[in-house]
């Protein structure tokens, strides 16, 4: 418990230190941006740590992280000292800051309580996440080394791990504790961020006297983002109790969710003996709702439709999850920029370089934290700056003025993270038209229905009587918003020679879904333009909702070509863009629903009563969390701990002890040899032969993931994903696997020593995985290597040492 | 006149007839407290075993002096001078004398802080620092931070004076950047104070400290004796090292309980009192803000480093705490003088007697290492409750509340004096400094040299002992560090107590290269027992097998 308190306290301190800067950035927010200060503070500390480690000003170790926090303290002192309105802001915002602290505490400890029932870092890509977290903490040099490819710098967007690593180090937690606490922090920081943003947007729309409704908007926004899930959860619950007809499931395009017939075991849901579905990991399928072939056995999953509630139940510490507070922060910066009055041009930048620099660091962090977010959220900022300047200037002068402010900001955003860019190898190979089967409308509704309806309900109160002409005028222009991408898609498909097939392949359902997205985008964009022209605060949530639907629409038309293009072309595009859409629609939906409820209940706009059915649909979206949580925690049974490796201590204490010894005794940066993950068995003539070459999602590289000590090679295909599916990479990584495997499958001591020298490794691990993967093929290492550590049947060997040392 | 020193008024300072006597008493007091401060630190120069951070940094300095690359050589200016001293001697004493000389200037620094702290406050602060056990080790030990306490004290003097010549800032910046981390909280506090007060020092005035910083970083980066190996900023490097390394057997919390809690708790109470006054009166001058921020940053470091085995954060916190506590106690004593003693003249002695009897019982339990029987427990509980009730009654009335100081201050002084006396005069058995290099380790070196001198062969040391042996085996020619015993080995130091290798005979005895003195702060009875029995602490050491080549 003490480590949880230390982590929580560290997050609070960082948030508190960022308050003076939050007040500067979010002066017009009712809480002074207090809810965003966690993300703001941690991003700045993370950047300071990253850049000072890279410049070798800060050494590796916990103290470096503490010093980075101290730097934020100095920045806070400077901002507070020079900001004449700081004390006034503090007096005005302290109730909001207190409320935000309470919300942060509630969400953090609630998530810790949940996660403590299921803290294992073991399945899915969690070992990879732990590996990057350990890399950010333990790498002797910066940018950090890739622990699964000794000698090479990490080539991934790992800024989130740097930030969680800082919280972990400062609080004195171990990496396996910090992993879970990092998730809890992200959950809580995302909650406060969206609460702050939606509260501000609602207050701007409703005015200062409707505080309770604004609080309702904040609560709804938090719920939409973090608690609402796919509506497939409702069907899961129904199927678990044998409810619903086959027709319903087929109509919605989720055949696999139907209740099992007697004797049926596949592509159906078994009945549950508890009130919630008990099928193992049932909720995982609800992040794969959009499928081209709903009846395929075994399931043919070609997209990922993850949403935040799922992410937190699963517990993968992925970049797109850790970036939630940051993207909300940047969206809030865009909102604050939009709301501001003065011109933003080069002169403004010279007058207030601090704010511009901080904005640059935040925009730059988008790419470093989750590269997919860069375009969407920096575009929000660009539009906000342009719109603000257009209040005083015509279009082209406004563009020029905006460029004067945005140009340097974007330049600094790149320069500030240059060390990362130099090592990062993007695997995006360009924009391609999606020419496969379109999304079934039922699946689209189950996945995004609650969010889309929540966003669209705003149209019931933002459009006023007597604006028909204005709407019609605007609609003529805004039609290009959905038409433009469609025309581009046609052109690209024609260019690639796929147009005819693409039109057919999409299918009637796919075209219907596309049309629904297009209409939603068109309607929201039109509402946005009308509200913008009328200078109404409602323009902001409408604009965010429009961007959200545009992302869903765009993901139906295009794909970003990456390593999955051959097998599942839109896997990542739908995944990453719909996650952004979920975030934006949550912000907009929180405001739209709360304001609609206020307008309806006050009897001002009858159409706003649509909030009631939409609210009901949103409430159905909560079913997912309600039933998935007890399933994930096995009914909240079992021991509780926050240490993600406690399961290992229970299941294989010797392996756990070996890992702990390695972490405590092997210097950071020392290369170790451990199992690649490939399974060996007797081949021709009894010689060792590979019987299973798959290593990803398995035990390969588990020691380096748990300790940060670099292995010569870890998960093969993930390295391919990060560095490119080139022949050179394939050969290099295979050669690394072969070399390591040779050390474990030869009985020739000289060969083992050669491998150790060639790989630069001083240590060779023989734990449970090595015994399982290589078995009897292993040489008697003790004959020619030193036993550095032995526990039970497991041993860490070390190259023999001998050197003459002068003492005088 | 500072709000911290309310007991001094211009009128009092100008009282003609009594002035001679007052000055004379003041001078005598300064001499007496200064002598205590210095006297306590004299004995350890020769008698304190090499241990903790001192052992690590002396090892690094030694290797640097002979040109052997070593991560333990940071270096600070002090460590560089220590390395230089090894050109003339193999002893740690000259380096300790150097540290002592620097630390010996602290009374003068406190004397110069009278305008801020008041004469009484400065004197009491010096008295408190005299009995700061962690400060004794840090101020006399030849670790890389040997100059640190003096640097921090003098930097505070500079920062609170208006008549500082510009070049002094260059010297101060040089001292800070070539020193250890103890002054870092003050540096950060100074920067924070400047920023919070929106002060805009002219750019030209920054050239002096900038020059000092550049010169300091240049020196540490050049690493005298070894040559550059990347950018080296000594204070931050040592700050980070403190979290990573084992510079004391007890962790931060253990050291706090063991040695410095009265200073720190008292200092923080005084700080809270001062902050409350500042909030109530809506005034806080620059120097007070600096002192409070210094304490706050040092406290942040200390709290963060609680699990670490490093006494440095505690030393860094004790210094500003003492500076706050000194004037705070002066205010407290003044309040005691004016307090209402109507009831407390009975309550305080009653509480003292009840507490003494309870302590007597607990002391008895501590000797037996078990809690007494039920009736004893009832007696102790009753006495403690009676003590607390008496104090609570005294505290309930704001006019009588100050009188509790007459009980609390002597009570808090006991652990300070005990811990300091133990560390200053019996450091070999004290929990600080530990882990330490025992005399036995140097004896092993003499035996090894004699053995290979008589019978030939080389001295072979297992890699596990590589670091621990640098200091005791200094000036021993060449040794072989090997994980397998080479054929020409004549004298071998090996882990464990297994059978000797072929051709070697074990050297009888319980050999050890490092001693760890157990911390008494791991249990209440153990802690109390330490007060009654100075030899009650277990000394543990990893056994070392010593083999010598058998004569054919």
Beta-carbon separation of B478 and A81 below 8 A:
no
Tell me the β-bridge partners of A269: A259
Closest residue in A to B482 (Cα–Cα)? A802
| Least trusted range by pLDDT, from A521-525, B210-214, B288-292, B546-550 | B546-550
Alpha carbon distance, N-terminus to C-terminus of chain A: 50
Average pLDDT over residues A322-332: 98
Nearest Cα to A474, choosing from A409, A403, A524, A421? Answer: A524
Token code pair at residue A49:
């740590």
Instruction: Give strand ranges (E) for B207-253.
Output: none
* H/E stretch holding B504: strand B504-506
pLDDT of res. A516: 97
Between CA B317 and CA A657 the distance in angstroms is: 36
Asked if residue B178 lies in contact with residue B76, where contact means CB atoms within 8 angstroms, the answer is: yes
The residue that leads in pLDDT, B550 or B446, is B446
B24-68: pLDDT as tens digits: 788 999 999 999 999 999 999 999 999 999 999 999 999 999 999
B159: left (phi over 0), alpha (psi -120 to 50) or beta: alpha
- Asked, as a colleague might, if the bond just before B435 is cis with ω within 30 of 0, I would say yes
- Helix pair B133-140, B148-159: axis angle to 10 deg: 100
Tens digits of residue pLDDT in A503-556: 999 999 999 999 999 999 999 999 999 999 998 999 999 999 999 999 999 999
Helix, strand, coil percent values for chain A (each to nearest 5): 65, 5, 30
Give the Cα separation of A315 and A321 in Å (integer): 9
The pLDDT value recorded for residue B22 is: 52
Kindly determine whether residue B192 and residue A77, on different chains, have CB atoms separated by under 8 Å.
yes
User: What is the three-class DSSP state of B492?
Assistant: strand
B136 contacts: CB under 8 Å, gap ≥ 6: B40, B41, B44, B420, B423, B424
Residues paired with A764 in a beta bridge: A673, A797
pLDDT class of B3 with cuts at 50, 70, 90: very low
pLDDT score at B6:
47
Mean pLDDT, residues A413-429 taken together: 92
Residues of chain B with Cβ-Cβ distance to A804 below 8 Å are: 478-481
Q: Report percent pLDDT > 70 for chain A.
A: 100
Shortest CA distance to A136 belongs to which of A277, A322, A315, A364? A322
| Backbone conformation region of residue A263, classed left if phi is above 0, alpha if psi is from -120 to 50, else beta | left
Cβ density class B433-442: b for 16+ within 10 Å, e for less: bbbbbbebbe
Structure confidence at residue B537 as a pLDDT band (50, 70, 90)? confident
Cβ B143 vs Cβ B72: under 8 Å:
no
DSSP state of B259: I
Looking at the complex, report in whole angstroms how far the Cα of residue B106 sits from the nearest Cα belonging to chain A. Answer: 27
The mean per-residue pLDDT over the stretch B379-383 comes to 95
Q: Are A173 and A8 in contact (CB under 8 A)?
A: no
Q: How confident is the model at residue B550 (pLDDT cuts 50, 70, 90)?
A: confident
Mean confidence (pLDDT) of chain A: 94
SS3 B517: strand
pLDDT category, B23, cuts 50, 70, 90?
low
Interface touch A57/B463, C-beta < 8 Å: no
Alpha-carbon dihedral sign for residues A330, A333, A338, A343: negative
Burial category of A561 from C-beta neighbours within 10 Å (exposed 0-12, middle 13-18, buried 19 and up): middle
**In 3D, which of A279, A320, A286, A317 has the Cα closest to residue A301?**
A286
**In whole numbers, what is the pLDDT of chain B averaged over residues?**
91
Of B326, B355, B329, whose CA–CA distance to B130 is shortest?
B326
Residues A521 and A549 sit within 8 Å (Cβ to Cβ): yes
Assess whether pLDDT exceeds 50 at residue B446: yes
Pairing of strands A558-560, A431-433: antiparallel
CA distance, residue B114 to nearest chain A CA (Å): 28
Tell me the CA end-to-end span of chain B in Å, nearest whole number.
83
| Contact with chain A for residue B414, Cβ under 8 A | no
Q: Select from A61, A81, A805 the Cβ nearest to the Cβ of B196.
A: A81
pLDDT of residue A564: 87
**DSSP secondary structure letters along A133-169:** HHHHHH-SSSSPB-TTSTTSB--S--HHHHHHHHHHH
Predicted confidence at residue A49, as pLDDT, reads: 97
Give the pLDDT of residue A302. Answer: 83
- Contact state of A807 with B476 under an 8 Å Cβ cutoff: yes
A62 to B243: CB separation less than 8 angstroms, yes or no: yes
Phi, psi of B129, rounded to the nearest 5 degrees: -65, -30
> What ipTM is given for this predicted complex?
0.89
Distance from the Cα of A554 to chain B's closest Cα (Å) equals 48
Structure-block tokens of residue A235: 């069907």
pLDDT tens-place string over residues B164-192: 999 999 999 999 999 999 999 999 999 99
Residue A327 Cα, gap to closest chain B Cα (Å) = 30
Take residue A590 and report the two structure tokens written for it: 């929180």
- With 0-12 CB in 10 A as exposed, 13-18 as middle and 19+ as buried, what is B259? buried
Q: A384 is written with which tokens?
A: 């906000």
Question: What is the per-residue pLDDT across A456-513, written as a single tens digit (0 to 9) for each?
Answer: 999 988 877 778 889 999 999 999 999 999 999 999 999 988 899 999 999 999 999 9
SS (H, E, C) A330-341: HHHHHHHHHHCC
For B482, which of A70, A80, A802 is closest by C-beta distance? A802
pLDDT surpassing 60 at residue B9: no
For residue A805, list chain B residues with Cβ-Cβ distance below 8 A: 68, 466, 478-481
Q: Are A500 and A540 in contact (CB under 8 A)?
A: no
pLDDT in tens, A178-213: 999 999 999 999 999 999 999 999 999 998 888 899
Residue B284 at interface with chain A, using a CB cutoff of 8 Å = no
What is the model's pLDDT at position A555? Answer: 96
| A150-164, A709-723, B495-509: the lowest-pLDDT one | B495-509
Residue B240 structure tokens: 């980070």
**What is the mean pLDDT of the segment spanning A752-761?**
96
Please give the share of chain B, as a percent, with pLDDT higher than 90: 75
Whether the CA torsion A89, A95, A97, A100 is positive or negative: it is: negative
Looking at chain A, which residue has its C-alpha nearest residue B68? Answer: A806
Residue B471 DSSP one-character state: T
Q: What are the angstrom distances between the C-alpha of A711 and each of A46, A655, A716?
A: 26, 17, 12
The Cβ of residue B328 has, within 10 Å, a number of other Cβ atoms equal to 24
Q: Looking at the partner chain, which of A58, A170, A804 has a beta carbon nearest the beta carbon of B236?
A: A58
Secondary structure in 3-state letters for A587-620? HHHHHHHHHHHHHHHCCCCHHHHHHHHHHHHHHH
Please enumerate residues of A whose Cβ is less than 8 A from a Cβ of B: 55-64, 66-67, 70, 73-74, 77-78, 80-82, 170, 172, 786, 798, 800-808
């Amino acid at each position: 418990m003490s480590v949880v308190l230390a982590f929580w306290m560290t997050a609070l301190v960082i948030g508190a230190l960022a308050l003076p800067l939050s007040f500067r950035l979010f002066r017009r927010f009712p809480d002074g941006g207090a809810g965003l200060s966690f993300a703001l503070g941690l991003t700045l500390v993370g950047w300071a740590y990253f850049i000072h480690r890279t410049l070798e000003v800060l050494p590796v170790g916990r103290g470096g992280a503490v010093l980075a926090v101290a730097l934020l303290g100095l920045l806070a002192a400077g901002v507070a000292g020079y900001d004449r309105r700081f004390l006034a802001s503090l007096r005005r915002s302290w109730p909001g800051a207190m409320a935000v602290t309470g919300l942060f505490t509630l969400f953090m400890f609630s998530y810790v309580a949940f996660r403590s029932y299921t803290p294992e870092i073991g399945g899915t890509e969690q070992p990879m996440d732990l590996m990057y977290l350990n890399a950010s903490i333990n790498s002797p040099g910066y940018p950090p080394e890739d622990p699964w490819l000794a000698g090479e710098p990490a080539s991934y967007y790992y800024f989130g791990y740097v930030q969680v690593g800082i919280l972990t180090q400062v609080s004195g937690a171990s990496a396996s504790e910090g992993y879970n606490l990092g998730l809890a922090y992200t959950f809580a920081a995302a909650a406060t961020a969206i609460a702050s943003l939606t509260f501000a947007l609602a207050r701007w729309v409703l005015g200062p006297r409707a505080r309770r409704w604004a609080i309702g908007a904040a609560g709804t926004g938090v719920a939409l983002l973090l608690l609402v899930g796919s509506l497939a959860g409702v069907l899961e619950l129904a199927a678990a109790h044998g409810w619903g007809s086959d027709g319903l499931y087929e109509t919605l395009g989720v055949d696999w969710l139907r209740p099992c017939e007697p004797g049926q075991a596949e592509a159906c849901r078994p009945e549950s003996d508890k009130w919630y579905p008990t099928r193992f990991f049932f909720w995982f399928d609800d992040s794969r709702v959009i499928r081209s072939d709903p009846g395929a056995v075994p399931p043919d999953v070609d997209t990922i439709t993850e949403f935040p509630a799922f992410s937190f139940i699963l517990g993968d510490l992925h970049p797109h999850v850790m970036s939630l507070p940051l993207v909300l922060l940047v969206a809030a910066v865009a909102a604050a920029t939009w709301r501001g009055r003065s011109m933003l041009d080069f002169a403004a930048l010279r007058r207030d370089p601090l704010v511009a620099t901080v904005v640059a660091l935040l925009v730059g962090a988008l790419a470093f934290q989750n590269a997919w977010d860069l375009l969407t959220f920096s575009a929000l900022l660009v539009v906000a700056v342009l719109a603000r300047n257009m209040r005083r200037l015509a279009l082209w002068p406004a563009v020029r003025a905006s460029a004067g402010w945005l140009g340097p900001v974007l330049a600094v955003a790149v320069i500030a993270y240059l060390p990362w860019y130099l090592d990062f190898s993007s695997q995006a190979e360009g924009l391609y038209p999606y020419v496969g089967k379109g999304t079934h409308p039922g699946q689209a509704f189950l996945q995004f229905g609650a969010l889309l309806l929540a966003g669209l309900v705003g149209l019931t109160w933002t459009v006023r009587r007597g604006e028909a002409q204005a709407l019609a005028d605007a609609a003529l222009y805004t039609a290009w918003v959905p038409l433009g991408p469609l025309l581009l898609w046609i052109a690209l498909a024609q260019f690639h020679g796929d147009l005819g097939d693409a039109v057919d392949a999409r299918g009637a359902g796919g075209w219907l879904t596309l049309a629904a997205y297009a209409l939603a985008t068109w309607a929201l964009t039109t509402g946005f333009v009308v509200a913008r022209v009328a200078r109404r605060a409602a323009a902001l949530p409408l604009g965010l909702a429009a961007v959200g639907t545009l992302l869903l629409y765009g993901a139906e038309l295009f794909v970003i070509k990456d390593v999955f293009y051959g097998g599942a072309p839109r896997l990542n595009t739908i995944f990453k863009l719909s996650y952004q859409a979920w975030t934006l629609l949550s912000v907009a939906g929180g405001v739209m629903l709360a304001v609609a409820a206020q307008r309806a209940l006050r009897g001002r706009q009858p159409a706003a009563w649509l909030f009631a059915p939409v609210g009901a649909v949103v409430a159905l979206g909560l079913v997912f969390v309600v039933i998935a949580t007890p399933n994930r925690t096995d009914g909240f049974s079992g021991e509780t701990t926050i240490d993600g490796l406690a399961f290992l201590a229970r299941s294989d204490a010797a392996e756990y002890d070996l890992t702990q010894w390695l972490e405590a005794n092997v210097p950071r940066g020392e290369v170790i040899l451990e199992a690649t993950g490939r399974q060996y068995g007797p081949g021709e003539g009894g010689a060792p032969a590979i019987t299973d070459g798959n290593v990803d999602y398995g035990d390969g590289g588990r020691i380096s993931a748990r300790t940060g000590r670099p292995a010569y090679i870890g998960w093969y295909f993930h390295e391919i994903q990060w560095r490119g599916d080139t022949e050179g990479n394939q050969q290099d990584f295979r050669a690394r696997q072969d070399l390591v495997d040779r050390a474990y499958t030869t009985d020739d001591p000289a060969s083992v020593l050669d491998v150790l020298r060639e790989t630069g490794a001083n240590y060779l691990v023989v734990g449970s995985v090595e015994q399982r993967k290589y078995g009897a093929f292993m040489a008697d290492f003790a004959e020619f290597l030193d036993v550095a550590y032995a526990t039970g049947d497991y041993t860490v060997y070390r190259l023999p040492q001998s050197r003459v040392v002068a003492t005088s | 006149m500072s709000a911290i020193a309310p007991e001094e008024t211009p009128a009092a300072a100008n009282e003609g007839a009594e002035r001679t006597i007052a000055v004379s008493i003041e001078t005598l007091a300064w001499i007496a407290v200064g002598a205590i401060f210095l006297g306590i630190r004299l004995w350890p120069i020769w008698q304190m075993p090499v241990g903790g951070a001192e052992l690590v940094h002396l090892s690094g300095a030694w290797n640097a002096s002979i040109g052997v690359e070593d991560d333990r050589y940071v270096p600070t200016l002090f460590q560089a001078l220590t390395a230089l001293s090894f050109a003339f001697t193999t002893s740690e004493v000259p380096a300790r004398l150097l540290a002592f000389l620097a630390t010996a200037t602290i009374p003068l620094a406190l004397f110069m802080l009278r305008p801020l702290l008041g004469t009484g406050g400065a004197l009491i602060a010096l008295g408190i620092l005299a009995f700061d056990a962690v400060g004794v080790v840090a101020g006399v030990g030849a670790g890389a931070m040997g100059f640190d306490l003096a640097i921090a004290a003098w930097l505070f003097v500079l920062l609170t004076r208006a008549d500082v010549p510009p070049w002094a800032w260059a010297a101060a910046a040089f001292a800070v950047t070539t020193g250890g981390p103890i002054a870092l909280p003050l540096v950060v506090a100074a920067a924070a104070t400047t920023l919070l007060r929106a002060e805009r020092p002219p750019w030209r005035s920054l050239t002096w400290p900038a020059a000092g910083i550049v010169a300091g970083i240049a020196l540490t980066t050049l690493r005298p004796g070894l040559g550059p190996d990347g950018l080296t900023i000594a204070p931050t490097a040592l700050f980070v090292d403190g979290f990573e390394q084992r510079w004391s057997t007890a962790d931060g919390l253990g050291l706090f309980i063991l040695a410095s809690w009265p200073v720190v708790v008292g200092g923080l109470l005084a700080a809270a009192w001062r902050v409350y006054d500042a909030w109530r009166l809506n005034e806080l001058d620059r120097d007070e803000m600096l002192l409070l921020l210094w304490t706050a940053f040092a406290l942040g470091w200390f709290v963060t480093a609680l699990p670490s085995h490093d006494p440095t954060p505690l030393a860094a916190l004790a210094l500003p705490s003492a500076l706050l506590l000194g004037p705070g106690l002066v205010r407290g004593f003044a309040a005691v003088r004016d307090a209402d003693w109507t009831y407390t003249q009975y309550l305080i002695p009653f509480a003292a007697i009840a507490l003494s009897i309870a302590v007597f019982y607990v002391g008895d339990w501590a000797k037996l290492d078990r809690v007494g029987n039920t009736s004893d427990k009832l007696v102790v509980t009753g006495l403690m409750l009676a003590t607390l009730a008496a104090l609570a009654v005294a505290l309930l009335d704001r006019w009588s509340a100050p009188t509790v100081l007459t009980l609390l201050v002597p009570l808090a002084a006991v652990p300070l004096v005990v811990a300091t006396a133990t560390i200053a005069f019996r450091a070999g058995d004290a929990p600080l400094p530990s882990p330490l290099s025992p005399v036995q380790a140097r004896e092993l070196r003499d035996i090894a040299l004699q053995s290979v001198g008589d019978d030939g062969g080389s001295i072979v040391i297992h890699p596990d002992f590589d670091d621990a042996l640098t200091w005791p085996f200094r000036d021993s020619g060449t040794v072989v560090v090997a994980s397998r015993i080479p054929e020409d080995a004549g004298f071998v130091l090996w882990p464990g107590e297994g059978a000797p290798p072929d051709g070697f005979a074990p050297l009888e005895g319980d050999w050890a290269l490092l001693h760890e003195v157990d911390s008494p702060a791991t249990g209440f009875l153990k802690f109390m027992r330490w007060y009654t029995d100075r030899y009650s602490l277990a000394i543990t050491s990893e056994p070392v097998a010593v083999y010598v080549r058998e004569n054919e």
